[in-house]
Amino acid sequence: MKEEKKQKPTTKSKKKTTKPGKGIETMYRISMNSHVQFNKIADNKANILISVNAIVVSILLSTFLPEFLSGNYLKLCIPFSIFILTCSLTVAVAIIATIPKHTKDYINLDQMDNKAGEYLFFGNFAKMNMTDYVAGMRKFQRDDALSYDALSQNFYILGQALAKKYRLLHIAYRVFLIGFVISVIAFAVAMFV
């Protein structure tokens, strides 16, 4: 005779939770950290372009402009102009890349469900009174799906801003590279022709 195994009654009923696990929360944390680091890198690259090119323009203008105006080095006028224009355009594009996003559309509590990601950006809730803002944050505390949707929307918005910033930096570096090469060629032609 076989003994039947007795099953112990379970006192705990296992419920499936719809709340994301720690892995999802870690993903959001790592993603936010990556976005912040990429933003710092882009700002540092833009700062380098702005600083170096502004110094070069200042030195060139203070050193060679009086010489050109007095009639000396006239054969270097075109290469000099190309290089000044290159540095100036590079600085302009780098500055445009670092201009902070300015929002004119302020969010209110009624729009929170549709634009939850924008609710997390300080520029969008800056004109909201504190009572409404706290009430909106309570909505996030009660609804995990809304919280994660807001984080996802916020990452998307930040990603779009980073993509634009990196696209402009790409243009600035290309302008500098192409202008620098053309300037060197123009200087060589002016010196040896």
Give a yes or no: residue 70 inside a domain: yes
Residue 101 pLDDT more than 80?
Answer: no
Give a yes or no: residue 177 inside a domain: yes
**Cβ pair 101, 163 in contact under 8 A:** no
The pLDDT of 146-156, averaged and rounded, is 82
Q: Terminus-to-terminus CA distance in the chain, angstroms?
A: 111
Give a yes or no: residue 121 inside a domain: yes
Which residues, including other chains, have CB under 8 Å from residue 39's CB and lie 6 or more apart?
Answer: 158, 162, 165
Give a yes or no: residue 156 inside a domain: yes
Give 17-71 as a DSSP string: --S--HHHHHHHHHHHHHHHHHHHHHHHHHHHHHHHHHHHHHHHHHHHHHHHHTT
Residue 11 pLDDT more than 60?
Answer: no
Q: Which residue has the higher pLDDT, 149 or 181?
A: 181
Least confident of 72-81, 101-110, 164-173: 101-110
Domain range for residue 122? 34-192
Give a yes or no: residue 39 inside a domain: yes
Q: Which residue has the higher pLDDT, 84 or 67?
A: 84
pTM, 2 dp: 0.74
Predicted local confidence at residue 189, as pLDDT: 92
Which residues, including other chains, have CB under 8 Å from residue 54's CB and lie 6 or more apart?
Answer: 87, 91
**Cβ pair 157, 82 in contact under 8 A:** no
Give a yes or no: residue 28 inside a domain: no
Provide the greatest CA pair distance for the chain.
118
**Cβ pair 169, 42 in contact under 8 A:** yes
Give a yes or no: residue 74 inside a domain: yes
User: Residue 30 is encoded by which pair of tokens?
Assistant: 């790592």
Predicted local confidence at residue 13, as pLDDT: 45
Give a yes or no: residue 184 inside a domain: yes
Q: How many separate domains does the chain show?
A: 1
